[in-house]
Structure 1
Amino acid sequence: MKKRDSSGFTRRGLLGAFAATAVTAAPTFANAAGFLRGGGDIRRIKMYSGRTGERLDTIYWIEGQYIGEALREINIFMRDWRNGKTVNMDTRNVDIMAASLRLMDTSEPYMLLSGYRSPETNAMLRSRSSGVARNSLHMRGQAADLRLSSRSVTQMARAAASCGAGGVGRYSGSNFVHMDCGQVRTWGR
């Protein structure tokens, strides 16, 4: 049994993350990729969609190379479920998501609430909520809204922010975390 502190991280998971960052260079996205290096020469992402019922569990990077077919699966999985439109999801954001999941040391897949959003969908959501950005990174395939039942919003946000590689928004009232590969910043409660 793995002993967890009050934040939900295991000692082994944190030590692995810190060891991985010791070998990483300073550039922003190298940090997220560095967290993944501790797991060998593979990168894996696991998600499911409550909207479509689909599941994704794929290794998308092996020995320094992204796997085209796996990235195509990710693009389809993270599509705008309202109209079926897809874009090429930014691999930097997939790396941040995978690194964060690894840091939290859980086998649970993310629940994807929102990946790519077409401009039409973003406009519709924006008309209903003040919390939707006009130029959302979701419209560029550079953001995802995610949930885990085994981790709190705070734990997820801390893991994502520790990657030092993009934006992290905490939405405690709605129980999800926004992760993107834009400028490094945090917001929310």
Structure 2
Amino acid sequence: MRHLLRLSLLGLLAGGTLAGCASTPGPQASFDGGPRSITLHHPASGETVSVTYRRADGYDPQALDRIATLFRDRRTGETVPVDPTLVELLADLRDRCGAGPDTPVHITSGYRSPLTNVTLARSNPNVAENSYHLRGQAADISIPGVPPRRLADEAAALQRGGYALYPHTGHVHVDTGPVRTWSPKGGDPRILEARAKAASGKAVAAKASPAPRTQVAAAEPAPAKRPPAKTAPAAAPAKGNDADLARVRMVLASLKEQPDASAKKKP
């Protein structure tokens, strides 16, 4: 019930009934009281919501609930009501950048729970302790076909809250807090953007240049087969050897024929 009462009150504020009690939006705000639609897309999950969030009699609570669901903290699943003036700001930025009414606004980061914000702040110096993401009043966005610099320039021209360009990620932060801007930790956005473009150009050039061909050395010719070494023929026996052998045999034969002197009887 409180949620519905809050949405009804915000609808009256947007319609101008209680304009004297609310902060007056910039001259570019589209609070004409007519129906208005928006398409939001969460790139990481692929989730898309397309709703008519404002009708002739005010904001549509069910449409805003669907937007809050898409804006939910992706780590904890928690949701909070999204500020309708933030939705109006997103629709105005889409129109000012020349995108069609059906062009989705990409929401990189919407609502953050206190736990998520503290966790991110430990590793990211650009996460503010009292971020408007904690209140459902901020979004990190991009629009297909729109350069991030153009989107940031249009946010600056509207003067409807805080804005900052993050060229290293390609998104723009917008919120419905006080009008202000800042440079991401690490340098001026224009310098970071130039560095990002230079690094991207080098990567494209490296990818386009053909890889150097590896020169394959010609195969070495196989060593010529050497003919087998010739074995020297065995030396022929000397001719004199046969004669000597014959004489030895004759001597042995004659010795056998002689009677053994020891075998004779004694007289």
TM-score by length of 2: 0.57
Aligned to 2:127: 132
1:26-105 aligned within 5 A? 28-34=24-30, 37=32, 41-63=34-56, 65-105=58-98
Unaligned runs of 5+ in 2: 1-22, 184-188, 190-267
Aligned to 1:157: 152
Conserved? CA contact 2:94–2:143, under 8 Å: no
Amino acid at match of 1:136: S
Q: Within the alignment, does 1:148 sit opposite 2:164 as a pair? A: no
Residue-by-residue CA offset, 1:21-77 (whole Å, 9 max, x unaligned): xxxxxx64253533x64xx82222211112222101111012251111101111111
Give me the identity figure in percent. 35
Conserved? CA contact 1:51–1:81, under 8 Å: no
Aligned to 2:165: 170
- The higher radius of gyration belongs to 2
- Partner SS for 1:29: coil
- Taking the aligned partners of 1:67 and 1:98, their CA distance within structure 2 comes to 16
Structure richer in strand, relative to its length: 1
Amino acid at match of 2:158: C
TM-score by length of 1: 0.79
- Partner SS for 1:71: helix
Unaligned runs of 5+ in 1: 1-26
> How has the CA–CA distance of structure 1 residues 105 and 119 changed in structure 2, closer, same or farther, with 3 Å as cutoff?
same
Runs of 4+, deviation exceeding 4 Å: none
- Partner SS for 1:106: coil
CA RMSD of aligned residues (A): 1.9
Higher RCO (Cα < 8 Å, 6 or more apart): 1
Aligned to 2:180: 185
Q: How many residues align?
A: 161
Q: Per-residue deviation at 1:80?
A: 0.6
